[in-house]
Amino acid sequence: MAQFTLVTGAGGFIGGQLVRDLLANGVSVRAVDKKPYADWYFRSPDAENVVADLQLVEACDRVTQGVANVYNLAADMGGMGFIESNKALCMLSVLINTHMLMAAHKHGVDRFFYSSSACVYPGYKQTDADVVALKESDAYPADAEDGYGWEKLFGERLCRHFREDFGIKTRVARYHNVYGPFGTWDGGREKAPAAVSRKVAMAVLARKHEIEIWGDGEQTRSFMYIDDCLIGTQKLLHSDIVEPLNIGSDEMVTINQLVDIVEDVAGIKLKRNYKLDAPKGVRGRNSDNALIKATLGWAPSISLRTGMEQTYRWIYDQAKARDEGRPYIAAAA
């Protein structure tokens, strides 16, 4: 009889914290990641921890045996700098979802969660900083982010057809910029909240009152704190919602306003140097939360200020430890 809940990408930011949350609620968890176990962000000894490359069909078959529910979070991804420079690597993540769905069907998995992304939304709807919030129906006609966005959009369709053809209860979340402590903060895969926090922390530590900002700083985004992400993810898996659903904050800010918040938390003001030729993604993006409120009776609500206070202080501590030659949590994929 199936007994485990499987979390893929368990050595990463969202997956590792999801494993801890599930264990705290008495769920039996099988945690899987391709990174060596020593490199996982969270190592929960109460889980069954497995190192496996889920791009391989035999690995997916093996880890899905005896599993009732799957949270498929595994993917090769990062911030905009990584996504724009590694389109082929991002596309190869399609193998993970394909093989995981095949294995889920073979072994009688009941519910299958797939972490998609706001990068599936068309570029033609995100050309203005004062963007209209993106609702789920906006994904088509399709014009997804090249590479990563198209891989996620294909993954969504694959989930839909495995649900329709084979009866697996697939649930799809379109995440909008998840951030928080214990996330990737250096090395090229970090997203804007972590990158800004690192840059401010390093300016404080070096007493060099300057910061480099990618683009002109007027591009807009919304950012969702990790705690909201974990709640929304578990609510969605156990819901009856079959179509993709936004899980993201609708608190839209410019990148300059994000910098303002982190500077205020750090108690510093920095000279801003704008790198206009850096990767910066779409001009504006925000989450329309009307559907999640109507269907789940809930939406992400942790303010950016509250989340960034926690995020900045954690990243500052890691950067300071690194500068002083003490142990710190390194960046992870």
pLDDT at 42: 86
| DSSP label of 208 | -
* Average pLDDT value for residue range 24-38: 96
Same domain, 71 and 54: yes
Yes or no: say if 285 and 222 are a contact pair by the CB < 8 Å rule. Answer: yes
Q: Looking at the structure, do residues 169 and 31 belong to the same domain, yes or no?
A: yes
Residue 179 a catalytic site member? no
Distance CA 118, CA 222 (A): 11
Task: Please compute the mean of the pLDDT values over residues 41-48 and round it to a whole number.
Answer: 93
Instruction: For residues 212-219, give the mean pLDDT.
Output: 96
Select the more confidently predicted residue: 287 or 79: 287
306 and 211 co-located in one domain: yes
Asked whether the predicted pLDDT for residue 80 surpasses 70, the reply is: no
Same domain, 287 and 166: no
Task: Tell me the mean pLDDT in the region 207-232.
Answer: 96
Structural domain contains residue 239: yes
Residue 161 inside a domain? The answer is yes
Model confidence at 63, pLDDT cuts 50, 70, 90, reads very high
| Domain identity same for 133 and 230 | yes
Residue 331 in domain: no
pLDDT at 2 over 60: no
Same domain assignment for residues 117 and 214: no
**CATH number of the domain residue 25 falls in:** 3.40.50.720
Beta strands in the chain (DSSP E): 4-8, 29-33, 48-51, 67-72, 111-117, 169-175, 178-179, 210-214, 220-222, 224-225, 245-247, 252-254, 271-275
pLDDT of residue 76: 78
Q: Does one domain contain both 34 and 166?
A: yes
Question: Does residue 92 surpass a pLDDT of 70?
Answer: yes
Q: Which of 71, 114, 148, 175 is labelled catalytic?
A: 148
Instruction: Assess whether 115 and 213 both reside in one domain.
Output: no
pLDDT in tens, 140-181: 999 999 999 999 999 999 999 999 999 999 999 999 999 999
> Is 80 in the same domain as 207?
no
**In this structure, are 22 and 154 located in the same domain?**
yes
DSSP 81-134: HHHHH-HHHHHTTHHHHHHHHHHHHHTT-SEEEEEEEGGGS-GGG--SSSPPPB
Q: Is residue 189 part of a domain?
A: yes
Q: Does residue 328 form part of some domain?
A: no
Report the pLDDT value the prediction gives residue 79, as an integer from 0 to 100.
Answer: 65
Distance CA 21, CA 16 (A): 9
| Domain span at 319 | 179-222+251-294+302-323
| pLDDT tens for each residue of 96-105 | 999 999 999 9
Q: Are residues 207 and 90 in the same domain?
A: no
Please check whether residue 332 lies inside any domain of the structure.
Answer: no
Q: Find the mean pLDDT for residues 296-304.
A: 98
| Residue 314, domain CATH | 3.90.25.10
Which of 163, 159, 297 has its CA nearest to residue 239?
297
Please indicate whether residue 189 or residue 121 has the higher confidence score (pLDDT): 121
Mean per-residue pLDDT, 305-331: 93
> pTM to 2 decimals?
0.94
Contact 180, 311 (CB under 8 A): yes
Residue 330 in domain: no
Domain shared by 154 and 197, yes or no: no
Query: pLDDT at residue 333 above 50?
Result: no
Give the total number of structural domains in the chain: 2
